[in-house]
Chains A and B, each alone.
Chain A
Amino acid sequence: NAGVTQTPKFRVLKTGQSMTLLCAQDMNHEYMYWYRQDPGMGLRLIHYSVGEGTTAKGEVPDGYNVSRLKKQNFLLGLESAAPSQTSVYFCASSYSGRGVVAGELFFGEGSRLTVL
């Protein structure tokens, strides 16, 4: 019962480097999300996906790209990392179904990214 798994858990980048965070869920959830958490700012939505092959911008999408090629995976990419992207990143998934618009979010353990 893995739930939502994020890799890597920790990463240090230099400004301008690129990287991809991988999120995998084994609950057959339609919806997947990427959030960033910064001190005093709560969780802010970067991008989300309501199904395989679809993605949408959230509150703070600039500097990030995402892809949902498979239902179980949601990738978050940083093409040219900046110090402002130093944060803890959380992936989440949720279900939908008859009579349920919003199931609760199931979160991964988080990925701590530092950009020097």
Chain B
Amino acid sequence: AQKVTQAQTEISVVEKEDVTLDCVYETRDTTYYLFWYKQPPSGELVFLIRRNSFDEQNEISGRYSWNFQKSTSSFNFTITASQVVDSAVYFCALSEGRTGNQFYFGTGTSLTVIP
């Protein structure tokens, strides 16, 4: 079973629109960590955020915000006023406390921001 599901394979938005990338995870652990990574067309993987299971407070960083809801096992990522530079593949990942730092990645969402 997939531990991290990113149901949106590809999303296209027009510049300045807001966009939300969905991430649903599955774990039986009470201690776990969630991550988002960005992979721009150049190919490198860029860390965006880490959230632990005991901290459900939403986070905002500039145009980026993250909504963590344990009740629905979701960790969604919203980009406000999207820009062309936001075009990338975005990966959500889960690390469970009991597995000694194994990370499970979703299949990614490819975001295209159209100028």
Is A50 in contact with B100, judged by CB distance below 8 angstroms?
yes
Residues of B within 8 A of A (CB): 9, 31, 33, 35, 37, 43-45, 47, 50, 91, 93, 95, 97, 100-108
Mostly, the A contact residues are strand
Q: How far is the CB of A21 from chain B (nearest CB, A)?
A: 16
Interface positions of A from 102 to 116, Cβ below 8 Å from B: 102-107, 109-110
Is A90 in contact with B108, judged by CB distance below 8 angstroms?
no
How far apart are the CA atoms of A39 and B106 in the complex, in Å?
A: 12
Please name 11 pairs of A and B residues whose Cβ atoms are closer than 8 Å in the assembled complex, sorted by A: A33-B103, A40-B9, A44-B105, A92-B45, A94-B101, A101-B31, A101-B101, A102-B50, A105-B37, A107-B44, A109-B44
B residues less than 8 Å from A103 (CB atoms): 50
How far apart are the CA atoms of A48 and B101 in the complex, in Å?
A: 9
A residues less than 8 Å from B95 (CB atoms): 101-102
Q: Given known contacts A41-B107, A45-B103, A48-B102, is B97 in contact with A102 (CB within 8 Å)?
A: yes
Interface code A63-96, partner B: CB below 8 Å = 1, 0 otherwise? Answer: 0000000000000000000000000101010101
